[in-house]
Amino acid sequence: MSRSASPVATGTPLAGAAAAVGHGLLAALPLAMWAATRSAPLFLGLAALAFLVAGLTRGGVGGLWRGVAPLLRAPIGVLLLGFALWALVSTGWSHRPAAGLRMWGEFVLPLLAGLTIVASGAFHPSRRFMRVLAVTVILASCLLYYEFATEFALRKWLALDRRQESFYFNRAALTCLVLAVPVIDRLWREGARRDRVLACLLGLVVATLVFASDSEAAKLGLVVMVVAGIVFAAAPRLMLAATAAAFLATMALAPAIGPTLEAQLPASLRSHLQPSHEVRIDIWETFGEAAMLRPLRGYGFNAAATLDQDPVAQTISPPRRAMLAIGHPHSAPLQAWVDTGLVGAALLSAAGLLLLARLRRLQPPRSAMPAAFFAGCFAIVVVAHGAWQGWWIAVLTLAALLFAAAPLDMRNLEDRT
């Protein structure tokens, strides 16, 4: 194959240059998240603009529509589009509709960027791209680890920002973990021997970072991914069924998890919990009680951020009402219930089950890593940050693009070096 047939080259010099810029921005995203821990949507959006230029140059608007239409017509696409529209409608009954609309934009824009990248037909990550992305994740991980070890000496010297608490970098640590998984998967399965060495190095560096960070969610996610990957390799269909059952049960019972733990967790065990874990149970109980006050339609998209100001939530038992000011319930399934009610939670549950069903149709060796990734990321969102944050949606979108991309071109001349 000639260099002109490289996956990055897309018909014309302008299209090829735009696609190269888009790939470069995506590869730089891990380092951007180290420098500014909310920058993932910006880099994904700029990459989408570059790919949009490439797509328009190649096939015009018609070509873009032909690229995106199958995704929108697919059952998962219909469900996610339905959730996005329901979330938009729900801002109409929120006590702060303007804030809900802003968060809706933060949630939707990374998804639109991902659709644009796919529709362009210009995103074809070569082995060289995967190697570069592996290196940038390794560099970002090393920089983060150095920050922790030196009490942010480099950040102070560069005067990047004034926030120097280690928990502030949980987003960057999660980014490195989430992006490392599809990179390791593709380099290990489709790369040469040195690519497998790079994949092992990437896994070791990211695991070291995760356990050095303050992110308990990242640690949980990594452990779940490793354990699930091992079990998937041994019994793929059984593990997929167990994952689907656990996912559905967690989504359906999210409002009851806090009260159940509060009532059933033995006092002797609870006394050994870290203070942050004990507080999290209290948060889940409070927001679960709020969700059951308006179970069908919820309080409106992103209402959880200021739920203490909602008139309905004021009826929550006084000892727990102060927890509503925490900003979000630290659980995406519970936040889906609080913000969008049973309708929103059902749409997201159906989309997740359809995704697992698609993974079930893959050959077991091919499905193991994506299925383990699903399990690990779901474990993260069950205990961690706000559900609709743009940086998280952007990172997941890029990971999905990497998993779904065509196999690496083994014949590409640029990869023979």
For the ranges 41-45, 111-115, 147-151, 400-404, the lowest mean pLDDT is seen at 147-151
Q: CA 138 to CA 201: how far, in whole Å?
A: 8
HSE, CB side, 13 Å, CA atoms: give it for residue 375. Answer: 27
Q: Which residues touch 326 (CB under 8 Å, ≥6 apart)?
A: 283
For residue 274, pLDDT beyond 80: no
Q: CA 147 to CA 154: how far, in whole Å?
A: 7
For residue 317, pLDDT beyond 80: no
**For the chain, how many residues are written?**
417
pLDDT of 2: 38
12-23 b/e with 16+ CB inside 10 Å = b?
A: eeebbbbbbbbb
Higher pLDDT, 158 or 35: 35
Radius of gyration of the chain from its Cα atoms, rounded to whole angstroms? 22
pLDDT of 277: 66
pLDDT of 386: 85
pLDDT of 313: 79
pTM: 0.90
Closest by alpha carbon to 344, among 357, 331, 353, 335?
335
pLDDT of 186: 92
C-alpha pair distances (Å), 37 with each of 33, 190, 313: 4, 31, 32
Diameter of the chain by CA atoms? 71
154-164 pLDDT, tens digit each: 777 776 666 65
Q: What percent of the chain has pLDDT over 70?
A: 89
DSSP 16-69: HHHHHHHHHHHHHHHHHHHHSTT-HHHHHHHHHHHHHHHHHHHHHHHHHHHHHH
Closest by alpha carbon to 378, among 329, 333, 342, 336?
333
Contact 341, 295 (CB under 8 A): yes
195-216 b/e with 16+ CB inside 10 Å = b?
A: beebbeebbebbbebbebbbbb
Q: What percent of the chain has pLDDT over 90?
A: 62
For residue 102, pLDDT beyond 80: yes
Contact 79, 354 (CB under 8 A): yes
Mean pLDDT of 261-277: 64
Q: Residue 296: how many CB atoms within 10 A of its CB?
A: 7
pLDDT of 413: 36
Q: CA 376 to CA 229: how far, in whole Å?
A: 10
For residue 359, pLDDT beyond 70: yes
Q: What angle do CA 347, 294, 255 make, to 5 degrees?
A: 65
pLDDT band for 33, please (50, 70, 90 cuts). very high
Q: Residue 134: how many CB atoms within 10 A of its CB?
A: 27
